[in-house]
Each structure stands twice: as C-alpha cells, then as structure tokens.
Structure 1
C-alpha cells in the first residue's frame, strides 16, 4: 500500500527592511512607525506593523502612548483610527536607530490575503520634537520573480527595502 505524500504549499513572501537613522538632536525621541499595504485606490489592504510607546498603565497612567498614534496622519486617516491597539503580532514598542526587518508569508497574519494586482508598501514615521515622513514602494502581487525595490527617506526614515519572493 503506498502512502500519499503531501507536497508543501509555498506561498509568496514579503520582507520589509526599515532603517531608522540616528538624528543629531538635543532631545532625541524614538519615532512612531506604521507599515501597511495599500491597494491601487489608496485604501488599506492591511496594517503590517505599528511601533509606538507601549508602556503599561502603571508606567504611563495617562495612556500617552496611544494618544500620539494620530501623529502618523496618513496611516491614521486611512485606517489606523479603526485599529483597536494593541494588536497581537502587529503592534510593538518603538525601535532604536538602526536597521529592522519584518517578514511575512502570504496567508499568515498579519499579512492580508492579496488578490493579484498593483499595491504599495507604505512606511510612515513621526517623532516627538521631530518631523513626519512617508515613504512608499509600488509593487505587483503576487511576485513572479524575486525583487528588492527600495526607497529612501530624507530625515525620519532611511532606506526602506521590500524583498518580494514568489
């Protein structure tokens, strides 16, 4: 009797490399950062990550961490205000200056199920006593070949690299 061997189904993947530059500022604060995918009509397909001040209520009795999420204005207006934070696997603490990588597989939360078509990866950063910046990278889904499109911010964000694999 022969056994049927299940072949693993490989889904497309998407990795995002986000560089947060160290700024020369007398009062440096880590930026809040939101990363999401937009459809061609600029609606949000899904939020991948939100980094903000997640201190507990004992450390932060006023709940100021979530109060400043609206400073990431584009993300906030396009869908952030509808997100009930914290969200497991999406929200997390702010990150220090440096390079940070996020990886997602199709069909695994928080990666949304994307129909074939044109999309944009959008990364927005806002910093207390600092500025605000939005960087976007257009891409096609599903990827037909491994590609690594990049974009670079001017102040609040450094290089943003999207790593797409079929």
Structure 2
C-alpha cells in the first residue's frame, strides 16, 4: 500500500494537536468497483463566509512517488483547493503523517485556534483514472453539527461539535 502524507492545520502548516479541537470532520471515501482502483488525493479546507484566506485542514497524497512525476505533481488535480492556496503550500509541510486513505470513514480535527464565525468547509477528491468531486458544507465555529454527501468520489461528510 502506498504511503500518504496528511497535512494538517493550514496554509501556514502549523501543527494541530489532536487532543484539543473545536470538533471533528469525518470524510468518507466510498468503495468504488473499478478494474484499476486508485486511492484518491483529498484536500479539506475552510473559508470564511464573508471572504478571507482559505485554511487547509488536511491534504492526503502519495509521498512515495518520486522521479519525473512526484506525487506532489498531481495535487493540482485538486483544482479548487490548488487555486485557493494549495499551490503556495510548501510540501511536505510540518503536520501529521499517516497511511494512504483507503475506502472508509476518516476523521480530522477542527483546530481550536479557528476563530468563531461562519465558514464553509470544502472537501475535494481527485482519483487517477477516476473522477473529481467537491463537496461543501456550512460550518459554524464553535462547531455545530452538519452533513453533506458526495455522489461519486466522496461519501458522507459530517461535522460533529465537540
């Protein structure tokens, strides 16, 4: 299984403690029956509703891919995240690393230093030889519960208050 890197915190890439959080986000990657299945690259970020800088909460990608086409090359396939600040993120950034995200439910924390207010949570997935999908969910800090669902590359996205 390929390794991946989970970058947590933000465009600035400050580490996030899993002990304290404003809540959790569960991202479900559905099992897709395909002759050649590739685990998707996934980015999760928040943006203030009234406008402002995007803050990356997590990015999952293949860090083992080296040579002429390193894994970071394909991060641009997460088009919306890439335009919102992903391209300026120095990778790998100090954060939390982990295994490739296989189909199933995966949790990330909402950092406690996110200021109170109204945000939109965006989760984007892109898969080699597959599709691309963006799901957006309203988010209020302090965290309120919320839910949305993708149709192809992403399953349920849930926000749970702490």
Q: TM-score range by the shorter chain?
A: 0.7 to 0.9
- Aligned partner (choices 143, 147, 150) of residue 150 of structure 1: 147
Structure 2 partner of 1:160: 157
Q: Residues 37-78 of structure 1, C-alpha deviation per residue, up to 9 Å, x if partnerless?
A: 1111454441110000111xxx62224200000000000001
Are 1:36 and 2:45 counterparts? yes
Q: Secondary structure at the match of 2:37?
A: coil
Q: Secondary structure at the match of 2:81?
A: helix
- Aligned partner (choices 63, 67, 71) of residue 61 of structure 1: 67
Mapped to 1, the partners of 2:110 and 2:21 lie a distance apart of: 9
Unaligned runs of 5+ in 2: 1-19
Unaligned runs of 5+ in 1: 1-10, 108-112
Structure 2 partner of 1:83: 89
What are the within-5 Å matches in structure 2 for residues 1-166 of structure 1?
Answer: 13-55=22-64, 60-89=66-95, 93-107=99-113, 113-114=114-115, 116-143=116-143, 147-165=144-162
Structure 1 moving runs of 4+ over 4 Å: 90-93
Indicate the RMSD between aligned Cα atoms, in angstroms. 1.9
Mapped to 2, the partners of 1:93 and 1:63 lie a distance apart of: 20
The alignment of Structure 1 onto Structure 2 pairs a total of residues equal to 143
Please give the TM-score of this superposition, normalised by the length of structure 2.
0.80
Deviation at 1:133, TM superposition (A): 0.4
Change (3 A) 1:71 1:41: farther
Structure 2 partner of 1:5: none
